């Protein structure tokens, strides 16, 4: 619970500051990059959380890694996290910022699993249908899962709609086992 409070407070502080400076979009781009680096590099996270490495050395490394890719406000924000001893929360703070940004911009992330990759026409039709239902712009994250056999599974806001053939077969199997 404390971790969620910490990440939320820091993300909100960056969001407020970036908003005042008209840099919400840029800060979002930066936080997505920071999140991706944290998620993909175990070595980077080990360095950030290592108590033996001094803060000034960590800041120098951050500047070298991100200096040409992040806006100065994002670099300084990461420096603040390090100075406050919150480097271990960097990935969660970046994720929380992105969530705040999406909420502010009216964007919902929808996870779509399908048995085959969707063509552009079907993808656009699905996005338009969902957008009309929920009145939000849609960020569609697609994955192919051949185990579904056919159909699709949609996930959004802790809800799931399973229209896969695998699910229909499983349901049919349960009904048959009950009736026999």
Q: Is residue 100 a contact partner of residue 132, using CB atoms and an 8 Å limit? A: no
Out of 1.20.120.450, 3.10.20.340, 2.40.10.340, 1.10.520.20, select the CATH number for domain 2-103. 1.10.520.20
CA of residue 155 relative to chain centroid, distance: 14
Quick one: pLDDT at residue 175?
87
Domain ranges of the chain: 2-103, 107-179
Helix count and strand count (H, E) for the chain: 8, 4
Quick one: pLDDT at residue 177?
85
Backbone torsion region of residue 45, taken as left when φ is above 0, otherwise alpha when ψ lies between -120 and 50, otherwise beta: alpha
pTM: 0.82
- Residue 22's Cβ-count burial label (10 Å; 0-12, 13-18, 19+) is exposed
Quick one: pLDDT at residue 178?
85
Length of the chain: 180
Quick one: pLDDT at residue 1?
62
Q: What is the pLDDT of residues 30-62, one digit of tens each?
A: 999 999 999 999 999 999 999 999 999 999 999
Query: Could you give the strand order of the β-sheet that contains 152-156, starting from the edge strand earlier in sequence?
Result: 137-144, 107-114, 152-156, 159-162
Report the percent of the chain where pLDDT is more than 70: 98
Q: What is the pLDDT of residues 104-140, one digit of tens each?
A: 999 999 999 999 999 999 999 999 999 999 999 999 9
Tell me the mean pLDDT in the region 9-22: 98
């Amino acid at each position: 619970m404390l971790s969620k409070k910490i990440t939320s407070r820091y993300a909100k502080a960056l969001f407020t500051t970036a908003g005042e400076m008209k840099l919400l979009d840029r800060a979002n781009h930066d936080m997505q990059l920071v999140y991706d680096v944290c998620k993909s590099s175990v070595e980077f996270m080990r360095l950030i959380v290592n108590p033996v490495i001094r803060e000034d050395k960590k800041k120098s490394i951050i500047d070298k890694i991100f200096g040409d890719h992040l806006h100065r406000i994002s670099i300084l924000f990461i420096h603040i996290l390090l100075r406050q001893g919150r480097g271990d929360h960097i990935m969660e703070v970046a994720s929380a910022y992105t969530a705040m940004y999406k909420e502010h911009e009216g964007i919902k992330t929808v996870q779509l699993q399908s048995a085959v990759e969707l063509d552009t026409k079907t993808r656009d039709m699905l996005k338009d249908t969902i957008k009309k239902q929920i009145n939000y712009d849609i960020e569609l994250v697609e994955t192919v899962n051949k185990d579904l056999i056919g159909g699709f599974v949609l996930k959004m806001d802790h809800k799931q709609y399973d229209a896969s053939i695998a699910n229909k077969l499983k349901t049919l199997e349960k009904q048959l086992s009950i009736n026999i």
